[in-house]
Structure 1
Amino acid sequence: MLPLDRIADGGFAETEVTIDGDAESLLLYRDGDHVRAWLNICPHAGRRLDWAPGQFLKSKDGLLVCAAHGASFELQRGECVAGPCRGEALRAVPVSIREGQVFLGD
Protein backbone atom coordinates (compact mmCIF):
# COMPACT_ATOMS: atom_id res chain seq x y z
CA MET A 1 0.00 0.00 0.00
CA LEU A 2 2.63 2.57 1.10
CA PRO A 3 6.28 2.45 2.20
CA LEU A 4 6.62 3.28 5.92
CA ASP A 5 9.49 5.69 5.21
CA ARG A 6 7.12 7.91 3.17
CA ILE A 7 5.44 8.91 6.45
CA ALA A 8 7.50 11.15 8.72
CA ASP A 9 7.60 10.03 12.35
CA GLY A 10 4.85 12.04 14.05
CA GLY A 11 3.45 12.96 10.66
CA PHE A 12 0.53 12.15 8.40
CA ALA A 13 -0.01 10.74 4.95
CA GLU A 14 -3.04 10.14 2.77
CA THR A 15 -3.61 7.25 0.42
CA GLU A 16 -6.49 5.92 -1.61
CA VAL A 17 -7.69 2.38 -0.84
CA THR A 18 -10.61 0.16 -1.73
CA ILE A 19 -12.75 -0.93 1.23
CA ASP A 20 -15.78 -3.16 0.62
CA GLY A 21 -15.62 -2.26 -3.07
CA ASP A 22 -15.62 1.52 -2.50
CA ALA A 23 -12.71 3.91 -3.09
CA GLU A 24 -11.84 5.64 0.18
CA SER A 25 -9.33 8.26 1.27
CA LEU A 26 -7.30 6.96 4.21
CA LEU A 27 -5.46 9.11 6.76
CA LEU A 28 -2.30 7.50 8.16
CA TYR A 29 -0.47 8.68 11.27
CA ARG A 30 3.00 7.36 12.13
CA ASP A 31 4.19 7.03 15.71
CA GLY A 32 7.64 5.46 15.54
CA ASP A 33 7.24 1.93 14.22
CA HIS A 34 3.45 2.07 14.56
CA VAL A 35 0.89 3.42 12.12
CA ARG A 36 -2.73 4.23 12.88
CA ALA A 37 -5.26 4.68 10.11
CA TRP A 38 -8.68 6.26 9.86
CA LEU A 39 -11.03 7.15 7.06
CA ASN A 40 -10.24 10.71 5.98
CA ILE A 41 -13.72 11.88 6.98
CA CYS A 42 -14.64 14.19 9.84
CA PRO A 43 -17.64 12.82 11.79
CA HIS A 44 -19.01 16.37 12.16
CA ALA A 45 -19.98 17.12 8.55
CA GLY A 46 -18.58 14.24 6.52
CA ARG A 47 -15.88 16.36 4.90
CA ARG A 48 -12.24 15.44 4.38
CA LEU A 49 -9.89 16.34 7.23
CA ASP A 50 -7.01 17.59 5.04
CA TRP A 51 -6.74 21.23 3.97
CA ALA A 52 -5.16 20.16 0.65
CA PRO A 53 -4.71 16.60 -0.63
CA GLY A 54 -2.46 14.81 1.88
CA GLN A 55 -1.83 17.97 3.95
CA PHE A 56 -3.12 17.77 7.53
CA LEU A 57 -3.09 20.26 10.40
CA LYS A 58 -1.55 19.31 13.75
CA SER A 59 -1.97 21.58 16.77
CA LYS A 60 0.82 22.56 19.17
CA ASP A 61 -0.79 20.09 21.58
CA GLY A 62 -0.31 17.25 19.07
CA LEU A 63 -3.95 16.98 17.97
CA LEU A 64 -5.19 16.40 14.43
CA VAL A 65 -7.33 19.40 13.46
CA CYS A 66 -10.05 19.22 10.83
CA ALA A 67 -9.40 21.95 8.28
CA ALA A 68 -13.11 22.58 7.66
CA HIS A 69 -14.55 23.32 11.10
CA GLY A 70 -11.69 22.93 13.59
CA ALA A 71 -12.68 19.68 15.30
CA SER A 72 -9.62 18.32 17.16
CA PHE A 73 -8.80 14.61 17.46
CA GLU A 74 -6.35 12.83 19.74
CA LEU A 75 -4.09 10.43 17.86
CA GLN A 76 -4.34 7.26 19.97
CA ARG A 77 -7.97 6.35 19.25
CA GLY A 78 -9.05 9.17 16.95
CA GLU A 79 -11.50 10.60 19.48
CA CYS A 80 -12.75 14.16 19.02
CA VAL A 81 -11.71 16.11 22.13
CA ALA A 82 -12.69 19.63 21.02
CA GLY A 83 -14.95 21.25 18.48
CA PRO A 84 -18.31 20.47 16.92
CA CYS A 85 -18.14 16.66 17.18
CA ARG A 86 -16.73 16.30 20.73
CA GLY A 87 -17.23 12.75 21.97
CA GLU A 88 -17.39 11.21 18.50
CA ALA A 89 -14.44 9.50 16.82
CA LEU A 90 -12.82 8.92 13.47
CA ARG A 91 -13.55 5.55 11.87
CA ALA A 92 -10.48 3.37 12.43
CA VAL A 93 -9.19 1.14 9.64
CA PRO A 94 -6.85 -1.75 10.51
CA VAL A 95 -3.38 -1.59 8.97
CA SER A 96 -0.21 -3.59 9.52
CA ILE A 97 3.47 -3.11 8.77
CA ARG A 98 5.43 -5.86 7.03
CA GLU A 99 8.91 -5.52 5.57
CA GLY A 100 8.81 -1.72 5.74
CA GLN A 101 5.42 -1.44 3.99
CA VAL A 102 2.07 -0.36 5.42
CA PHE A 103 -0.72 -2.72 4.35
CA LEU A 104 -4.48 -2.55 4.70
CA GLY A 105 -5.74 -5.14 7.21
CA ASP A 106 -4.08 -7.11 9.98
Structure 2
Amino acid sequence: MTSGGRPLIAFAALEEGGFAEAEARFGNDAESLILHRDGDVVRAWLNVCPHAGRRLDWAPGKFLKSKDGLLVCAAHGASFELVNGDCVAGPCRGDSLRMVSVEVVDGEVRLVQDAPSP
Protein backbone atom coordinates (compact mmCIF):
# COMPACT_ATOMS: atom_id res chain seq x y z
CA MET A 1 0.00 0.00 0.00
CA THR A 2 1.19 3.48 -0.83
CA SER A 3 0.52 6.68 1.07
CA GLY A 4 -0.74 9.82 -0.53
CA GLY A 5 -4.29 8.91 -1.49
CA ARG A 6 -7.02 11.49 -1.94
CA PRO A 7 -7.84 13.56 1.18
CA LEU A 8 -11.26 12.82 2.72
CA ILE A 9 -11.42 15.20 5.71
CA ALA A 10 -9.10 17.20 7.95
CA PHE A 11 -8.16 15.08 10.97
CA ALA A 12 -8.95 18.00 13.32
CA ALA A 13 -12.50 18.23 11.88
CA LEU A 14 -13.25 14.69 13.08
CA GLU A 15 -14.14 14.87 16.77
CA GLU A 16 -12.70 12.33 19.22
CA GLY A 17 -15.13 9.40 19.33
CA GLY A 18 -17.18 11.00 16.57
CA PHE A 19 -18.31 10.07 13.10
CA ALA A 20 -18.21 11.83 9.76
CA GLU A 21 -19.33 10.97 6.26
CA ALA A 22 -17.05 11.39 3.26
CA GLU A 23 -17.29 10.47 -0.39
CA ALA A 24 -14.59 8.41 -2.06
CA ARG A 25 -14.17 7.31 -5.65
CA PHE A 26 -13.25 3.74 -6.50
CA GLY A 27 -12.73 3.65 -10.24
CA ASN A 28 -15.84 5.29 -11.71
CA ASP A 29 -17.99 4.66 -8.63
CA ALA A 30 -18.57 7.18 -5.83
CA GLU A 31 -19.15 5.60 -2.42
CA SER A 32 -20.25 7.10 0.88
CA LEU A 33 -17.89 6.28 3.77
CA ILE A 34 -18.34 6.36 7.53
CA LEU A 35 -15.24 7.69 9.32
CA HIS A 36 -14.72 7.16 13.06
CA ARG A 37 -11.97 8.68 15.18
CA ASP A 38 -10.57 6.80 18.17
CA GLY A 39 -7.64 8.81 19.54
CA ASP A 40 -5.06 9.08 16.77
CA VAL A 41 -6.67 6.25 14.79
CA VAL A 42 -9.32 6.73 12.12
CA ARG A 43 -11.29 3.78 10.79
CA ALA A 44 -13.53 3.81 7.73
CA TRP A 45 -16.29 1.61 6.37
CA LEU A 46 -18.66 1.78 3.45
CA ASN A 47 -21.84 3.55 4.55
CA VAL A 48 -23.93 0.47 3.72
CA CYS A 49 -25.70 -1.73 6.26
CA PRO A 50 -25.15 -5.43 5.43
CA HIS A 51 -28.76 -6.16 6.45
CA ALA A 52 -30.63 -4.34 3.70
CA GLY A 53 -28.01 -2.37 1.77
CA ARG A 54 -29.21 1.00 3.07
CA ARG A 55 -27.11 3.86 4.40
CA LEU A 56 -26.57 3.85 8.17
CA ASP A 57 -26.92 7.61 8.73
CA TRP A 58 -30.31 9.05 9.74
CA ALA A 59 -29.55 12.23 7.76
CA PRO A 60 -26.54 12.88 5.52
CA GLY A 61 -23.47 12.62 7.76
CA LYS A 62 -25.48 12.16 10.97
CA PHE A 63 -24.91 8.84 12.72
CA LEU A 64 -26.42 7.27 15.84
CA LYS A 65 -24.20 6.03 18.66
CA SER A 66 -25.62 3.85 21.44
CA LYS A 67 -24.95 4.37 25.15
CA ASP A 68 -22.61 1.37 24.84
CA GLY A 69 -20.56 3.15 22.16
CA LEU A 70 -21.88 1.17 19.18
CA LEU A 71 -22.70 2.57 15.74
CA VAL A 72 -26.43 2.03 15.16
CA CYS A 73 -28.09 1.73 11.76
CA ALA A 74 -30.88 4.30 11.60
CA ALA A 75 -33.05 2.10 9.35
CA HIS A 76 -33.33 -1.18 11.29
CA GLY A 77 -31.29 -0.75 14.50
CA ALA A 78 -28.37 -3.05 13.71
CA SER A 79 -25.48 -2.24 16.09
CA PHE A 80 -21.81 -2.35 15.09
CA GLU A 81 -18.68 -2.34 17.24
CA LEU A 82 -16.10 0.24 16.21
CA VAL A 83 -12.88 -1.74 15.79
CA ASN A 84 -13.76 -4.22 13.05
CA GLY A 85 -17.29 -3.05 12.21
CA ASP A 86 -18.83 -6.33 13.37
CA CYS A 87 -22.60 -6.40 13.84
CA VAL A 88 -23.21 -7.41 17.46
CA ALA A 89 -26.99 -6.87 17.63
CA GLY A 90 -29.91 -6.59 15.27
CA PRO A 91 -30.95 -8.18 11.99
CA CYS A 92 -27.44 -8.71 10.58
CA ARG A 93 -25.76 -10.07 13.75
CA GLY A 94 -22.56 -11.91 12.82
CA ASP A 95 -22.04 -9.91 9.62
CA SER A 96 -19.85 -6.80 9.40
CA LEU A 97 -19.41 -3.49 7.66
CA ARG A 98 -16.97 -3.39 4.74
CA MET A 99 -13.76 -1.74 5.92
CA VAL A 100 -11.91 0.77 3.75
CA SER A 101 -8.20 1.51 4.32
CA VAL A 102 -7.46 5.07 5.43
CA GLU A 103 -4.49 6.78 7.05
CA VAL A 104 -3.70 10.12 8.66
CA VAL A 105 -1.06 12.04 6.69
CA ASP A 106 -0.09 15.68 7.24
CA GLY A 107 -3.23 16.39 9.26
CA GLU A 108 -5.61 14.85 6.74
CA VAL A 109 -7.50 11.57 6.65
CA ARG A 110 -6.75 10.00 3.28
CA LEU A 111 -7.66 6.86 1.41
CA VAL A 112 -4.73 4.50 1.21
CA GLN A 113 -3.79 4.98 -2.43
CA ASP A 114 -3.59 1.32 -3.40
CA ALA A 115 -6.63 0.25 -1.37
CA PRO A 116 -8.66 -2.30 -3.30
CA SER A 117 -12.15 -1.39 -4.40
CA PRO A 118 -14.77 -2.46 -1.88
TM bucket (normalised to shorter chain) is over 0.9
Unaligned runs of 5+ in 2: 1-6, 114-118
Once the two structures are TM-superposed, the CA of residue 20 in structure 1 deviates from its matched residue by: 2.9
From 49, 63, 83, the equivalent of 1:42 is 49
2: distance between equivalents of 1:54 and 1:100? 21
The one-character-per-residue Cα deviations of 1:8-65 (angstroms, maximum 9, x if unpaired) are: 0000000111013210000000001100000000000000000000000000000000
From 18, 26, 33, the equivalent of 1:19 is 26
From 85, 94, 100, the equivalent of 1:93 is 100
The one-character-per-residue Cα deviations of 1:47-100 (angstroms, maximum 9, x if unpaired) are: 000000000000000000000000000000000000000000000000011111
| Residues 1-106 of structure 1 mapped to structure 2, 5 A cutoff | 1=7, 2-105=9-112
Unaligned runs of 5+ in 1: none
| Aligned positions, number | 106
Q: Cα RMSD between the aligned structures?
A: 0.8
Q: Relative contact order (C-alpha < 8 Å, sep 6+): which is higher?
A: 2
Using the size of structure 1 for normalisation, the TM-score is: 0.98
Superposed structure 1 runs of 4+ greater than 3 Å apart: none
2:3 maps to none
